[in-house]
Structure 1
Amino acid sequence: METAARTDEEWQEILRSVRRVHFVGIGGSGMSPLAEILHSRGYRLTGSDVNPSDNVDRMTGLGIPVSMRQAADNVGDAELVVYTSAVNPQNPELEEARRRGIPLIERGKLLGLISRHYSNAVGVAGTHGKTTTTSMISQILLEAGQDPTIFIGGRLPLINANGRAGSSDTFICEACEFQDHYLSMTPAVSVILNVDADHLDYFGTLENVVASFHAFAGLASRAVIVNHDDANARRAAEGIPPERLIWYGTGAGLVWSARGCRLEDGSCGAYDLYHNGEFFTSVKLGVPGAHNISNSMAAAAAAHLCGADARQIADGLRDFRGAGRRFEFLGTFGGVTVADDYAHHPTEITATLAAAKGMG
């Protein structure tokens, strides 16, 4: 049976009852953190992939057997098989699981189910900036001595991985709107960075994208952190109880506001951060681009809800040097700076080029 054929309650019962789980494509950025979390909870895992990677090496380093081919016999004695929507439906491991009646669960659904086990789950959503902001929050909390579980769509240099299994009740999670995957989550805190026209092959219209983000905001049990500078994000927050809304931006009268925004030292943002109208801390970012001022404000608001103080927030944002493939500095060649960036949406490309030009 496929993911959609079971209720959440049935899936929770399956997760409680099984001990052997197989991951198809375990080296994927959305798969390896889930595998690490289940491994830390005592599940016995196997995985397969066709591409060597740091993530695969991390899995084998944890003692998880990984086959570098995909074949029916890799499924072995698995009681649950995890896959991603990127895997071909005719993949031999998926076909073997179907033939034997082994439950198949898509990784987005599994992520949502896992989030329910953390009382302080923070889901970071937005058309742009999810990976960077989730990484910023993670950097702040880790440097502050907290032990969060982390799920990021890119590599965080501080841990040289895109996820980790912590021992606390805090779960910092990149929440992706692709095919409404984030609606499987149960966050205490939802973060909405911005809302733009993307994945229109699924959503059809921008209105439907806004409606999806509104549904995600409504899942939060504690707070919804929203970018007041983004018109569509404001629309997505309409109808959310005011006492749960935490607005941030550059305007006046917001819970979190940035004043004196400027770019210094290679186009890195700097500003004074205010909380409820009172000076909170001065921020100097370690990553370039004006867009990261906004990302860092969301990170500060979320980290503060997780118990970080002003000094810890300022230090973490200063020390954060970027996530993998998010304007990642690779080196210099012939006097030219070389960076790798994942930007693929027009808005993201514009922001990335502006950051590069600002570096001179």
Structure 2
Amino acid sequence: MIYFIGIKGTGMAALACILHDLGEEVAGSDLTKHFFTEEPLIARNIRIDEFTKENIKDGMTVIIGNAFGEDFEEVIAARANKSVTCYRYHEYLGILMSRYISISVAGSHGKTTTTGMLSAMMDTVFPTGYLIGDGTGVIHEDSKYLCVESCEYRRHFLAYKPDYAIITNVEIDHVDYFKSDEDYRHAYEEFSKNIKKTCVICGDDSEARKLELACDHIWYGEGENNDLRAINIVEGTTGMEFDVMFKGEFQYRYHLPFVGRHLMWNSLAVIGIGMLEGLTPEVIEEGLCSFKGVKRRFVIEEVGNNVFIDDYAHHPTEVSITIDAARKRYPDKKLVAIFKPHRVSRVFHFADQFANALLKADEIYLCDFTSIDDKEEGINIDIHYLQEKIPGSKILSEDDQGAAILAKEEPAVYLFMSSKDIYGLANKVKRYQNS
């Protein structure tokens, strides 16, 4: 029995699904509250228990979610039982990756979407497994490749030794752990020592350019100093096209059904991996076009005259890019941004940047911190700290009263942005408008 402490976590749920599909007996524990990540677990009849130390049984292999400290009762019970083998999530995943040709997707922003794109492309050619940070874990019995979203938080990605890697950008995040830009960059430099073959890294990112990489690498982006370049870019409301150059030579003109410049950058990174594995441009393009998106990343639902977009954006750069993409997709509609932050340190550190990003929207609503891991010692702020920096913004409750306020903004594009469970509020707004 492989038992997951915190099985509804995005990475944990994905890993549980993979191990189940590999024939392992899998179960786990978590809160009774509904999370979108539990749906694939339920579909596989994976048992989900409420937290209690009694869940830990002799002989188990226990995988501990990284959100749970050593003082958590189930963790204490697992560590104390000499017949139980314990791993942290990232430790076990690193072992699993060693069985395949593995591709890590790292970076401050865009990891989930890029991993989804990469998996879609690779799986059209080779049996490919993938673990994505939206709770999706897929493996085939004959999988040759494994694509893994690889998080830098607390340097967890140093447990991975991938054959290839993508680094999308190196803009500091997780400021509750990383102490400086230099500290953040150093984590990526350490990670580069683990990459066995080649790293495809964004050369338009100024912080990435400061890295001293310890592996073979290909720079990608729009700038002339990149090995792999996108030029002659044409963007529309339903797609994009661009020429790809590699070391000065024209390769192919790609036509892709994506909206938003960030998706062009993500695509270019995936194209780089495809080229390294000898795929033709036509095959790469077909694979990219098969990508239908990932959960909670710019997920669009059109309801009457309104548009609801759910996105995981929780860093100011992500908020800015997400609003830009919504503008590009719906240039003539009013854009209503609803933002719920995660971690007081992130808001305290990036408050001005959050304000500048959110001011791109027409109307701005802010929801307060509610997660158990939002509060941090030494930082005593609430959502008013951010509101004071955004003229005209309003604080919104995540209940029927808040939903009624949002419903009056119609017709509009409602852009719900958070790494937390803000999608429940969106559902309330839809019910108000349909009643």
User: Per the shorter chain, which TM-score range?
Assistant: 0.7 to 0.9
Structure 1 contact 285–320 (Cα < 8 Å) conserved: no
Aligned-pair distance for 1:88?
Answer: 5.4
What residue in structure 2 maps to residue 115 of structure 1? 97
Distance in structure 1 (CA, Å) of the matches to 2:277 and 2:79 = 42
Distance in structure 2 (CA, Å) of the matches to 1:258 and 1:309 = 17
Q: In the comparison of the two structures, how many residue pairs are matched?
A: 327
Distance in structure 1 (CA, Å) of the matches to 2:38 and 2:213 = 43
Query: Which runs of 5 or more residues in structure 1 are unaligned?
Result: 1-19, 156-161
CA-based RMSD of the aligned residues comes to 2.1
Q: 2:300 aligns with which of 318, 329, 332?
A: 329
Letter in 1 for 2:255: K
Percent sequence identity over matched residues?
A: 31
Q: Residues 207-258 of structure 1, C-alpha deviation per residue, up to 9 Å, x if partnerless? A: 111111111122111101111111111222x2435xx211211133643211
Q: 1:294 aligns with which of 254, 262, 265?
A: 265
TM-score for both structures, normalised by structure 1? 0.84
Distance in structure 2 (CA, Å) of the matches to 1:134 and 1:356 = 21
Letter in 1 for 2:321: A
Aligned-pair distance for 1:75?
Answer: 2.2
What residue in structure 2 maps to residue 252 of structure 1? 224
What residue in structure 2 maps to residue 218 of structure 1? 193
TM-score for both structures, normalised by structure 2? 0.70
Q: Residues 13-32 of structure 1, C-alpha deviation per residue, up to 9 Å, x if partnerless? A: xxxxxxx2211122221112
Distance in structure 2 (CA, Å) of the matches to 1:61 and 1:282 = 40
Structure 2 contact 231–243 (Cα < 8 Å) conserved: yes
Distance in structure 2 (CA, Å) of the matches to 1:59 and 1:131 = 19
Structure 1 contact 263–270 (Cα < 8 Å) conserved: yes
Which one scores higher on RCO, CA 8 angstroms, separation ≥ 6? 1
Which one has the largest radius of gyration?
2
Q: 1:35 aligns with which of 16, 19, 23?
A: 16
What residue in structure 2 maps to residue 201 of structure 1? 176
Aligned-pair distance for 1:90?
Answer: 4.5
C-alpha spacing 1:320/1:38, structure 2 compared with 1 (3 Å): closer
Aligned-pair distance for 1:282?
Answer: 2.1
What residue in structure 2 maps to residue 3 of structure 1? none
What residue in structure 1 maps to residue 315 of structure 2? 345
Please tell me whether residue 240 in structure 1 is matched to residue 220 in structure 2. no
Aligned-pair distance for 1:153?
Answer: 0.5
Aligned-pair distance for 1:304?
Answer: 2.9
Query: Which runs of 5 or more residues in structure 2 are unaligned?
Result: 332-435
Structure 2 contact 167–202 (Cα < 8 Å) conserved: yes
C-alpha spacing 1:317/1:42, structure 2 compared with 1 (3 Å): closer
Structure 1 contact 284–317 (Cα < 8 Å) conserved: no
Aligned-pair distance for 1:85?
Answer: 2.3
C-alpha spacing 1:108/1:100, structure 2 compared with 1 (3 Å): same
Please tell me whether residue 227 in structure 1 is matched to residue 181 in structure 2. no
Aligned-pair distance for 1:78?
Answer: 4.2
Q: Residues 144-176 of structure 1, C-alpha deviation per residue, up to 9 Å, x if partnerless? A: 242111011026xxxxxx121132331111110
Aligned-pair distance for 1:329?
Answer: 0.7
What residue in structure 2 maps to residue 263 of structure 1? 235
| Matches for 1:97-108 after TM superposition, within 5 Å | 97-101=78-82, 102-108=84-90
Distance in structure 2 (CA, Å) of the matches to 1:194 and 1:47 = 34
Q: Residues 264-296 of structure 1, C-alpha deviation per residue, up to 9 Å, x if partnerless? A: 134x43211223333322223323211211111
Q: Residues 80-112 of structure 1, C-alpha deviation per residue, up to 9 Å, x if partnerless? A: 211112235444422322342333321112111
SS class of match (1:231): coil
| Matches for 1:177-196 after TM superposition, within 5 Å | 177-196=152-171
| Matches for 1:112-151 after TM superposition, within 5 Å | 112-118=94-100, 120-142=101-123, 144-151=124-131
Aligned-pair distance for 1:343?
Answer: 0.6
SS class of match (1:288): coil
Aligned-pair distance for 1:57?
Answer: 4.0
Structure 1 contact 325–340 (Cα < 8 Å) conserved: yes
C-alpha spacing 1:229/1:357, structure 2 compared with 1 (3 Å): same
Structure 2 contact 106–167 (Cα < 8 Å) conserved: yes
